[in-house]
Amino acid sequence: MNTQQYVHEVEWQALANEVLSGTHITQEEALAILNTPDEDILPLLHGAYRIRHHYYGNKVKLNMIINAKSGLCPENCGYCSQSIVSNAPVEKYPLLEKDVLLDGARKANELKAGTYCIVMSGRRPSDSEVNKVVEAIKEIKEEYGMKICACLGLVTPEQAKKLQAAGVDRFNHNLNTAESHHDAITTSHTYEDRVNTVNAVKEAGMSPCSGVIVGMGETDAQIVEMAFALRELDADSIPVNFLNAIPGTPLENLKELNPRKCLKVLALFRYVNPTKEIRISGGREVNLRSLQPLGLYAANSIFIGDYLTTDGQKSSLDHQMIQDLGFEIEECAYDSGPQSH
């Protein structure tokens, strides 16, 4: 039976029932999701929504990023405007002062973001940088009590423990792509480096956040590989980025995604990782475009505000989108795990 024949025989509600009963979907079923005919997107999304609603109801988690250290990165990641191989005109500055990080937390709180994400460019942070971030985190936790996610690169186990002790709830380190596609995207670090960092985060007692960037020339089979790798890694939060091809980066000419494919990708990650926070992340606005609201039938989280070096849409539009869907913002910072509804 070829893939298209198999796709037409999949009954998405039955597959959703299997997932809700605790059964893992197969790689063949996962590929069928990505090959769903466009006319079957709504049944596919309905199955994904039933899974999402079972664990998260109609709550939407909001996350806000601050680019705490920009540019000057020695890594050669082909998608990144801050990379050493990028000619993109981005701001370059060292780690922001504590008062700027605190002001970012204030803005995140005003926008009803339950999680504030402190992100630094570079391969790994110095101990001095970690200490400065720790100082800011302690004051943010005391002032706002919000969740803190740190994304600082390849941290050591000792640095991870220090961040956890300071109150970092979650640490992000994306796999970015499939292991089989990794060397086509970057060669300055290994896929294993990324996996080891996520495991160090888990061992330190922080919640692991790890996701992907879709649209970097990978195959459908490699998108499935990513989803299954994150299931194996047991990441609590999975940001799904869609490549925003930035002029001046090696991947600037990749323009292969359309909104319908993005919806199928989000459904895939929900069926494969049913209990996890699935977050529509970078590239949401330029890839999903007018279909952004439909993405929240599979995902239960978005970034609000701007990304690292690209603009997001106005936060008022995100709030309106959530309201128009009949969904609600999850404002409680700590009641954030999956729950049956």
Question: Is a pLDDT exceeding 60 seen at residue 181?
Answer: yes
Neighbouring C-alpha atoms within 13 Å toward the C-beta of 246: 22
pTM reported for the whole predicted model:
0.93
pLDDT score, position 335: 45
Mean per-residue pLDDT, 208-224? 97
| 68 confidence band (pLDDT: 50, 70, 90) | very high
| 85 confidence band (pLDDT: 50, 70, 90) | confident
pLDDT in tens, 268-324: 999 999 999 999 999 999 999 999 999 999 999 999 987 777 778 899 999 999 999
- Whole-angstrom distance, CA of residue 278 vs CA of residue 46: 16
- Whole-angstrom distance, CA of residue 218 vs CA of residue 227: 13
Of 37, 24, 11, 2, whose CA–CA distance to 264 is shortest? 37
pLDDT in tens, 231-270: 999 999 999 999 998 899 989 998 879 999 999 999 999 9
Q: How far is CA 182 from CA 102, 162, 216, 306, in A?
A: 35, 30, 10, 27
- Whole-angstrom distance, CA of residue 304 vs CA of residue 280: 10
| 81 confidence band (pLDDT: 50, 70, 90) | confident
pLDDT score, position 9: 54
CB neighbours of residue 241 within 10 Å = 23
pLDDT score, position 84: 86
**65: which residues sit within 8 A by CB, 6+ positions away?**
117, 119, 303, 305, 306, 307, 308
- Whole-angstrom distance, CA of residue 204 vs CA of residue 181: 29
Tokens (6 digits) for 284 = 């949401």
Tokens (6 digits) for 178 = 């499939």
- Amino acid of residue 215: G
Domains, the chain, in order of start with CATH, read 3-329 (3.20.20.70)
What is the rounded radius of gyration, in angstroms, for the C-alpha atoms of the chain?
Answer: 19
**Higher confidence at residue 47 or residue 81?**
47
Average pLDDT, the chain: 92
pLDDT score, position 340: 65
pLDDT score, position 83: 86
- Residue spans of beta strands (DSSP E) within 47-122: 59-69, 115-120
pLDDT in tens, 2-28: 555 555 557 999 999 999 999 999 999
What are residue 73's DSSP bridge partners? 83
Q: What φ, ψ does residue 275 adopt, rounded to 5°?
A: -90, 0
Q: What is the DSSP string of 67-124?
A: EEEBS-B----TT-TTBTT-------B-SPPHHHHHHHHHHHHHTT-SEEEEEE-SSS
pLDDT in tens, 27-61: 999 999 999 999 999 999 999 999 999 999 999 99
- Whole-angstrom distance, CA of residue 296 vs CA of residue 58: 9
- Whole-angstrom distance, CA of residue 68 vs CA of residue 225: 31
pLDDT score, position 304: 93
